[in-house]
């Protein structure tokens, strides 16, 4: 078997996951891991699959595209060899949750993510909530992995400084503390 990553992006509709899963099965691909999300009516799904060695990536792509057309599901796809391992393998990292909230404006995510990039911090998840706290209000929640080699104090100061220059309040918490606080607050 060959391990592949199959990514789908396009218009959401009821049954889109069923269609994708059925097409992968018809292509003799076994789903090993999957994640999917809906954002503003758009579906995004990433599937890691075991595919038969005797079938090329081009053939699998062509079969999936044809199946999507027949099913009248508006999705684009990318099929490529799966990456073995993950970023940071062999590098000890700690998980943190960074939130930034305040007035919305262009370039906010870019500004915050440049700080992470400068320090080798990997963003594992990003959620943006716009307008939920009033018109023109933004809340960004980054789940990041901070390598031990990074100076956490410096990363925190730069994030707060960058956020402040855009009118954002920034909070940096270890994920365990973030989850404990939110668990207690939900009673």
**For residues 78-107, average pLDDT:** 86
Name the DSSP letter for residue 166: T
183 or 60, greater pLDDT = 60
- The Cα 132–Cα 141 span in angstroms is 13
Domain boundaries, the chain: 2-81, 93-185
* Predicted confidence band of residue 17 (pLDDT cuts 50, 70, 90): very high
Q: What is the CATH number of domain 93-185?
A: 3.30.70.260
Reported as a single tens digit per residue, the pLDDT across 138-165 is 999 999 999 999 999 999 999 999 999 9
Correct CATH for 2-81 of 3.50.50.60, 3.30.365.10, 3.30.70.260, 3.40.50.2300: 3.30.70.260
- The Cα 19–Cα 12 span in angstroms is 12
Residue 88's pLDDT is: 60
Residue 141's pLDDT is: 94
Measuring CA to CA, which residue among 108, 98, 106, 126 is closest to residue 164? 108
- Say yes or no to pLDDT of 56 above 70: yes
Q: Considering the chain, what is the average pLDDT of its residues?
A: 91
Burial class (CB in 10 A: 0-12, 13-18, 19+), 89: exposed
Residue 91's pLDDT is: 78
Return the percentage of the chain with pLDDT > 90, whole number.
80
Task: Check for a shared fold between 2-81 and 93-185.
Answer: yes
Residue 130's pLDDT is: 84
């Amino acid at each position: 078997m060959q391990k592949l990553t199959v990514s789908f992006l396009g218009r959401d509709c009821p049954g889109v996951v069923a269609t994708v899963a059925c097409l992968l099965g018809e292509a003799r691909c076994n789903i090993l891991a999957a994640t999917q999300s809906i954002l503003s009516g758009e579906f995004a799904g990433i599937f890691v699959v075991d595919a038969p060695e005797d079938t090329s990536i081009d053939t699998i792509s062509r079969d999936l595209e044809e199946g999507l057309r027949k099913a009248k599901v508006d999705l684009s796809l990318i099929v490529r060899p799966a990456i073995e391992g993950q970023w940071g393998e062999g590098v000890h990292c700690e998980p943190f949750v960074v939130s930034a909230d305040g007035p919305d404006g262009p370039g906010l995510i870019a500004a915050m993510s440049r700080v992470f990039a400068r320090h080798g911090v990997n963003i594992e998840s990003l959620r943006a909530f716009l307008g939920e706290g009033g018109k023109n209000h933004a809340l960004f929640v980054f789940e990041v992995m901070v390598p031990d080699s990074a100076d956490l104090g410096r990363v925190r100061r730069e994030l707060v400084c960058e956020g402040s220059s855009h009118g954002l309040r920034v909070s940096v918490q270890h994920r365990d503390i973030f989850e404990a606080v939110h668990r207690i607050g939900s009673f």
